[in-house]
Amino acid sequence: MGSSSEWKAIAERSQEALNAKIPQAWRLPRYLLETTEKDVTGVPASSGILSEKELTITLCDATEIIQNIQAGTWTAEEVCLAFCKRAAIAQQLVNCLTEICFDEALQLARELDQYFKATGKLKGPLHGLPVSIKDHINIAGLRSTIGYCCWADNIPKEDAVFVKALKGAGAILFVKTTMPVTGMAIETVSQLWGRTKNGYNRALVSGGSSGGEGALVGMYGSPMGIGTDIAGSIRVPCAFNGLYGIRPSTRRLSYDGITSNVKGGRSIPAAIGPMCHSIRDTELICQVVTKAEPWKEDPGVVQKAWTSRPDIPRRLSIGVMEFDGVVMPHPPILRGLRDAVEKLKSAGHDVIAFEPYQHQRAWDIAYPLYYATGGKEMQTLLDATGEPWPPAAAKLSANPELRELPARELYHLFNEQDTYKKEYLRHWNDTSKLTSSGRPIDALLCPINPCASYPHDFLTWWGYAAQWNLLDYPGVIVPVGFVDKNKDLKDESYKPVNDNDKVHHELYDPELWHNAPISLQLVGRQFEDENLLAVSAVVDEVINRR
């Protein structure tokens, strides 16, 4: 076991080295660094660091950026410089980065511009697009730490398969982003990199475990981020930061080349996917990395081409679930969901009430599978430098039910999972009895979390996210608005149905949550990812009038 002070020295050295890579000209004045304002999303525009053109560039989605580079309106260097500046500002305000490669990224951008000028050709469909990458997705020569002090200098020698596809398509990987030491969908905080905050409301979390990506892309410090999801870790940060994203069915996109604290898990595998500013960006990345034929290198990927915008019914059948029967969502989530329902009905779509099917049972199966080793690997990595658990993760590790499971119990849980998946499929198919079309629902619209983010160090209910990981159903996040303290009053008449529900109900304070993004989740059936994105595009257009 390391000494009690060893981890502190490592963390201090790592953070100082990281922040030294921010050029002096891009450093915020003291009054902005010390502001007590919760919402800092306006700081990049008021800081004077970015030009008007750079502000315009950074507010575009990835598709529009690529179109402008291809048309010659913007150079790759101009785009890269704009996002390097904005990422530097985001780091100073919300602490979201683990690696900074501004100089290398700008040099690559210049080379791409020279190639385009000389040949009139593009390096690929993502030519010149800056992309940020979650910490534990391996990039050769850059650190993959998962926030552990003992892995502060862990430098993979080979790119992840997903990263190879991005590079091959002409993307510029310019920063890596923070995640919690557990690698799970809780708050993004570690002793190594510190706490990542939410730019819309710094009193609230940015989500986890891809919380650094959520915070950075939410601050428009990157047009596109790549995260991973085993219990909501793409969808939750997208929701808390007003972004679009997909947790695809596992094995649709390559997860090969990920640094992990626990390897070999099969029952609830993780997925990898984009976090961005539009549905079309989400589709673009899925299509590009699938076109690279990752199955030629990763045997875990399904050999299936990506079908862009498949035909779907003109009149959709959308199921709606407000409450999973375990923890009631807060008032702003319910308002966002009910407003969406009214807009879908007005647009002529078929909306039906979807009854949850034993969601507490799903969690009771999932939780021990997530921690089948009892968390021993995580504890060993912390002990190597004497590093303590971060607060929220400590609550998880202190659970007396957390223990290493023998093979007999694992097999029992695998069987319970298989049984539940079969029952849930039957439950989903039975919605055909309720729809006007006579077919099962095209997608399920529901919360992704009971809260529109939550306070630091709080341990939230994961059920709205982890439910679909257990079933391996894809999920897409669509932002629908912001919390309004004057509209989203606390429901004092509500009677909680259990202790967990009571804790969440008592937590809600309209003043605290004011201005936090409100987002919803659309869920589809396994391997129907393209259909789900096509449905999501229609729902997004109806709700947000895009």
Q: Which is nearest to 474 in space by CA: 225, 277, 272, 334?
A: 272
Contacts of 282 (CB under 8 A, 6+ apart): 244, 245, 246, 273, 274, 276, 476, 533
Question: How far is the C-alpha of 527 from the C-alpha of 300, rounded, in Å?
Answer: 14
Q: Can you say how many angstroms the Cα of residue 2 is from the centroid of all Cα atoms in its chain?
A: 33
Angle, helices 211-218/76-94, rounded to nearest 10 degrees: 120
The one-letter amino acid code at 135 reads D
Question: How far is the C-alpha of 293 from the C-alpha of 297, rounded, in Å?
Answer: 8
**Catalytic member of 47, 132, 209, 453:** 209
Question: How far is the C-alpha of 336 from the C-alpha of 333, rounded, in Å?
Answer: 5
Q: Which is nearest to 444 in space by CA: 304, 275, 322?
A: 322
Q: Can you say how many angstroms the Cα of residue 492 is from the centroid of all Cα atoms in its chain?
A: 32
**Catalytic member of 85, 123, 134, 167:** 134
The reply to whether omega before 209 is within 30° of 0 (cis) is yes
Q: Can you say how many angstroms the Cα of residue 46 is from the centroid of all Cα atoms in its chain?
A: 27
In terms of DSSP H, where are the helices of 125-229?
161-168, 211-218
* Residues written for the chain: 546
Contacts of 491 (CB under 8 A, 6+ apart): 331
Helix (H, G, I), strand (E, B) or coil at 296: helix
Question: How far is the C-alpha of 247 from the C-alpha of 244, rounded, in Å?
Answer: 10
Question: Catalytic annotation on 493?
Answer: no
Question: Catalytic annotation on 254?
Answer: no
**DSSP label of 273:** E
Tell me the HSE value of 8 on the side-chain side, using a 13 A CA sphere: 3
Give CA torsion, residues 183, 333, 322, 532, to 10 deg: -60
Q: Which is nearest to 241 in space by CA: 31, 448, 475?
A: 448
Question: Catalytic annotation on 117?
Answer: no
Question: How far is the C-alpha of 271 from the C-alpha of 471, rounded, in Å?
Answer: 13
Question: How far is the C-alpha of 242 from the C-alpha of 246, rounded, in Å?
Answer: 13
Question: How far is the C-alpha of 79 from the C-alpha of 114, rounded, in Å?
Answer: 15
Helix (H) or strand (E) segment spanning residue 534 = helix 529-544
Question: How far is the C-alpha of 453 from the C-alpha of 199, rounded, in Å?
Answer: 12
**Catalytic member of 233, 249, 254, 278:** 233
| 358 and 238 Cβ atoms separated by less than 8 Å | no
User: Which is it for strands 130-134 and 172-177: parallel, antiparallel or unpaired?
Assistant: parallel
Active site residues: 134, 209, 233
